[in-house]
Each structure stands twice: as structure tokens, then as C-alpha cells.
Amino acid sequence: EVKLVESGGGLVQPGRSLKLSCAASGFSFNDYWMGWVRQAPGKGLEWIGEINQDSSTINYTPSLKDKFTISRDNAQNTLYLQMSKLGSEDTAIYYCAPDTFDYWGQGVMVTVSS
């Protein structure tokens, strides 16, 4: 069974950083590009970016490229999202998924507020 479990979310002050994790199981993690998508409260879905199998290629949505960094650890079957200079606009549920976007984690909430 494919399982994706995001963690690391919570309440963070504006301007601070936060690192999310996504633990994957049930499929061959190191065979897939992996990505992050977010959804602000009551809003639509926004693709953040994706990383290829050996981390040699990472694509981001342009507006987030300077704030967010995607990485992975294939030995740990884990995907990461490092977020910096957080603002209220980054308040959202963050989901991880393989690049086929057929399986999704349950999401993790990040709230940016003082």
C-alpha cells in the first residue's frame, strides 16, 4: 500500500523558516520524481515543485523559487521542503506526492502568524 506521511507543520512566526518532511512507503521511492503541492484555506491547489530521482534536477514554480528548497534522502525514503522567509501567504496545507500525482499524503498544515 502506498503511504505518504507529511510532518513538521505547525504555527510559525512571519519571517521564520520551517522544514517539512514526507515519509514514503509502499512503492519504490527512488524510482520517482517527487513533488510538493499546497492549498491555502478555502483556495485551490498550487504546485510548488518537483525533484528528480537523484536530486540532480529540481523544478519550482517561479514565485517560490527563492523561498523554498526541495530535497530528498533516498536511503530514508523521505522528501523534504525547506521553507524560508515565511509570510501569511504561505499559510496552507502542504501535500507531497510522486510526480504522477496519483497518490497523495494527508497533508500537513502550516500556519504563519505572530
Partner 1 sequence: DIQMTQSPSFLSASVGDRVTINCKASQNINKYLNWYQQKLGEAPKRLIYNTNNLQTGIPSRFSGSGSGTDYTLTISSLQPEDFATYFCLQHNSFPLTFGSGTKLEIK
3-state secondary structure 35-102: EEEEECCCCCEEEEEEECCCCCCEEECHHHCCCEEEEEECCCCEEEEEECCCCHHHCEEEEEEECCCC
Nearest distance, CB of residue 110 and partner 1, angstroms:
15
Q: Which stretch binds partner 1 (CB under 8 A): 20-28, 69-77, 78-86, 100-108?
A: 100-108
Site string for partner 1, 38-77 (x = CB under 8 A): ------xxxx-xx--------xxxx---------------
Q: Which chain residues interact with partner 1 by CB under 8 A?
A: 35, 44-47, 49-50, 59-62, 95, 99-102, 104-107
